[in-house]
Amino acid sequence: MKQQGVGIIGLGPVGSILGAYLARSGLKVYGVELDKARAQQINAGGLRIRGFAELEEKPEHCFTSLRELSEIEDLAAVFLCTKTWALPGVMKDFCDLDWSESTRIVAAMNGIGPEDLVGEYIPKERVCRGVINFAGNLEPDGWIAMNWFHPPNLLGPATERTPKRMHDVAEILSQAGLTTLDVSHHEMKKAAFFKTVLNSALNALCAAHGLTMARAMHLKHTRRTARVLLREGLTVAGLVGYNYGEDALDRCIEYLEGGGDHYPSMWFDLKNRRPTEIEYINGKIVKIGRMFQGADVAHNHFFTSAIVTQEIRNETRGDDDIPEYLIDI
């Protein structure tokens, strides 16, 4: 790849892990973090990772505005690592700025369809979706506790019209130690749905009950609930046209058993009175499932409703800001 710079918007756990690996590989990493305290922390001490990897890497700079990043020339890619709910606000500012036409835009966040949302603001041919299989939590001292690392990651174009795959971007990730496969649009969509089903099983359940992932999989009743959530999600995926094989449910359970004794991101969001990604995970399964007569999404509906209610209690959502699919049954 000719260009040796990358941008990362959002330097929470995923963005920080990504940035640290890329900086270690020799790339020039430029970040954008709208939280000025977090940006100052990074500029002073760098991107610090512990857990699955031990890294301390300094980016070229962490900006506090998109405009500053847009002034950097020859960026090979810009990775969008914000929370999914923040994406519309980010993209409204993003599309008002001048970006090189050769710069790939990578939606690297949770849920179903963030790449489609990005494609509402810029040409979809420039957009790809990263299905990211690493995660962590931001700790008070600024370090990222990297507690999830299950390569490979997947990278695919946001539209079937894209004439070439995203091999160049996948290559820089792989060379940095984050093994990434360049896949087709269909394969990316299928993998993103599967990961969302996995997230739907424990993210909301642990957040609602205050359990770590390991504890939720240990207790018989919550383990059963996770299994039912998975079954609902896999059924909806099948109705959409994604078949993961007869052993998909067992493979999901095995995958979740490796989650470790830590809380998922949604628990931290509620604890710190931040909006959650519930509408892009369990909520999406409910919304899509309702398109098919007879699809049972009752458990996903329950946990979506429970987390939305917690957001209202935390005053991160208004009383009237209730998704229609939770009301119209």
Domain boundary among 153, 183, 213: 183
Q: Are 213 and 206 in contact (CB under 8 A)?
A: yes
- Based on the domain organization, do 23 and 95 belong to the same domain? yes
Exposed (0-12), middle (13-18) or buried (19+): which is 236, by Cβ within 10 Å? buried
- Based on the domain organization, do 16 and 155 belong to the same domain? yes
Other Cβ atoms closer than 10 A to 220: 8
- Based on the domain organization, do 28 and 166 belong to the same domain? yes
Domain boundary among 153, 168, 183: 183
Sign (positive or negative) of CA dihedral 289, 294, 297, 302: positive
pLDDT tens figures, 149-207:
989 999 999 998 765 667 899 999 999 999 999 999 999 999 999 999 999 999 999 99
Any idea what the CATH number is for the domain that residue 243 is in? 1.10.1040.10
- Based on the domain organization, do 158 and 298 belong to the same domain? no
Sign (positive or negative) of CA dihedral 286, 263, 277, 158: negative
Tens of pLDDT along the chain (329 residues) come to 454 799 999 999 999 999 999 999 999 999 999 999 999 999 999 999 999 999 999 999 999 999 999 999 989 999 999 999 999 999 999 999 999 988 999 999 999 999 999 999 999 999 999 999 999 999 999 999 998 898 999 999 999 876 566 789 999 999 999 999 999 999 999 999 999 999 999 999 999 999 999 999 999 999 999 999 999 999 999 999 999 999 999 999 999 998 788 899 999 999 999 999 999 999 999 999 999 999 999 999 999 999 999 999 999 999 999 999 999 86
Nearest to 166 by CA among 104, 93, 231, 107: 104
pLDDT of residue 1: 44
pLDDT tens figures, 221-243:
999 999 999 999 999 999 999 99
Hey, what's the torsion of the CAs at 179, 185, 189, 195, to 10 degrees? 0
Other Cβ atoms closer than 10 A to 198: 22
Any idea what the CATH number is for the domain that residue 38 is in? 3.40.50.720
Domain boundary among 183, 199, 216: 183
- Based on the domain organization, do 12 and 30 belong to the same domain? yes
Residue ranges making up the domain that contains 232: 190-327
- Based on the domain organization, do 35 and 64 belong to the same domain? yes
- Based on the domain organization, do 168 and 310 belong to the same domain? no
* Structure tokens given for 142: 């600024």
pLDDT tens figures, 89-98:
999 999 999 9
